[in-house]
Structures are given as C-alpha cells and as structure tokens.
Amino acid sequence: MPGKSKKVLLAVVVAISASMMTPARPSGGTVSGKITYEGTPAKQKPIDMSKEPTCAKQYTTPPTTETVVTGPNNALENVVVYISAGAPDEAAPSKAAVFTQKGCRYLPHVLAFQVNQELNVLNDDQTSHNIHPLAKINREWNKSQPPGSPPIVDKYDKAEMIPVKCNIHPWMHGTFAVLKNSHFAISGEDGSFTLPNLPPGKYTVTAFHESYGDQSQEVTISSSETKTVSFTFKAKPY
C-alpha cells in the first residue's frame, strides 16, 4: 500500500508540474517574413576616410556607405519591422540600448529601442565625434564626445524614427528607431525578420527603411500560429 500511494503521489506531482510547464511554452503567434527590393538600388560608394587617419587605418579596404544594404536574392537589410498598431504600449526594459562609434561608423547602423529606454552612446575611436540625432518630435540635441569620454546617456519619451549624424565626419549616418512596444526586429543579411510572442489579435505591421520610407500590412493572429508577411520596397538607382 505505501508503495502504491507513493506512485500515485509521484504521478500527481508529474501531472501538476506538466500542467504548470505548459504556459511557459510561447503561447503567442509569430509574424515572420522577408524584406526584398525590386529595381536597382543606389550603388554604395567607398567612404574616403583619408581626413581621419585613425579611422582609415582600421580598414584594409575602405568600407562603403550604408544608405541601402542588400543581400543575396534581393534581400534588403537594416529594415525596422515593428507593430505600429494593435499592441499596447509597453514599459521600457531596464537594459540599455547601446550605440557604438567605431572606425568612424555607427554600430549598429540602425538601432531600435523603446520609448523611455536608456540609450548609451559610446565612442571607441581615437577621434572626437559629435552625436547629432535630428529629432523632430523629440528634442534635437547635439553633443561632443572626445576619445575616452564616458558614454552619453539619454532617452526619448516619444516614438520617432530619428536620423543620426556626426557633423565632423559627414559620411557617418545612422538611425534611432524609438518604438512604443517590444515587438520589433531589424531585417538581417538575408532580409528575414521574426516577431515572436504576439498574443491573438489584429495588428498593423510596419516596415521602415531609411532611404525608402515605410510600408504597412494588416495581420490577424488567432492562436499560436505563424503568419508570413513580406514587404517589397521599390529601389531607386540614385
């Protein structure tokens, strides 16, 4: 008898823990897809960094501009894909978003983060940069950051796509994508993106590219399904 009751108890424990495990599995749906272009995108030019030798010497071949970055099979990189409507606004995560200036370029070229999330701007170079995010909805500021300076810490309280530039090094351009919720992704080398953990609902998915503007599509998630949403941008040769 005692042996049997032990077995029953074990079975109950297993059953309970199994039922408790279930919600831990991602229950929401997923939107995934691929960003492509059609037409001829502007040819990216090698950057002449000869006026900034400390940066130029970091490259064996000069890096190219990044206004349009493409991959194989017409893939379009650096596109911000996000839920622009249908998802509630979310509180900012505690982890800071990091934007690094290295080799007189911005890493990453496009940085997406949330409203009121801490932003840290680092200078890894042996030259001064000025960080000049050209905000229009948020406040525009412009700060100098000589080598060895501490990170510039800031945050934005409104959603906005903000072009960022360094006036000292005119080839340095980037984007801050300040978004209202955590459902965002940036398309990779193959143009793909994934927005996981979406609760059932009707959403507007928006794709933003710094040179080609934005596009939106509606998608309805009814259970833990995966919906494919793809965007094609018309490339301009100039």
Binding site for other proteins (CB under 8 A): 51, 127-128, 130-132, 134, 136, 139-146, 149-150, 152, 167-170
At its nearest, how many Å lie between other proteins and the CB of residue 140? 5
Nearer to other proteins, 167 or 194 (CB): 167
Indicate the residue among 92 and 152 with the shorter CB distance to other proteins.
152
Distance CA 191, CA 73 (A): 9
Nearest-approach distance from CB 127 to other proteins, in angstroms: 7
What SS3 state is found at 56?
A: helix
Q: Which CB, 39 or 170, lies closer to other proteins? A: 170
DSSP state of 64: B
Which CB, 107 or 152, lies closer to other proteins? 152
d(Cα 2, Cα 8) in Å, to the nearest integer? 10
**DSSP bridge partners of 131:** 143
Residue with smaller CB distance to other proteins, 171 or 193: 171
Rounded to a whole number of angstroms, the minimum distance from the CB of residue 63 to other proteins is 18
209-217 long-range CB contacts below 8 Å, 24 or more apart? 209/35, 209/68, 209/76, 209/78, 209/79, 209/80, 209/233, 210/67, 210/78, 210/110, 210/161, 210/163, 210/173, 210/175, 211/42, 211/67, 211/68, 211/236, 212/37, 212/68, 212/236, 216/84
- Which C-beta is closer to other proteins: that of 26 or that of 146? 146
Residue 83 and residue 181 in contact, taking contact as beta carbons nearer than 8 Å: yes
Closest distance to other proteins from the beta carbon of 119 (Å): 13
The residue length of the chain stands at: 238
Give the shortest CB-143-to-other proteins separation in angstroms.
5
Q: How far is the CB of 165 from other proteins (least distance, A)?
A: 9
Tell me how many degrees the CA angle 37-43-45 measures, rounded to the nearest 5: 140
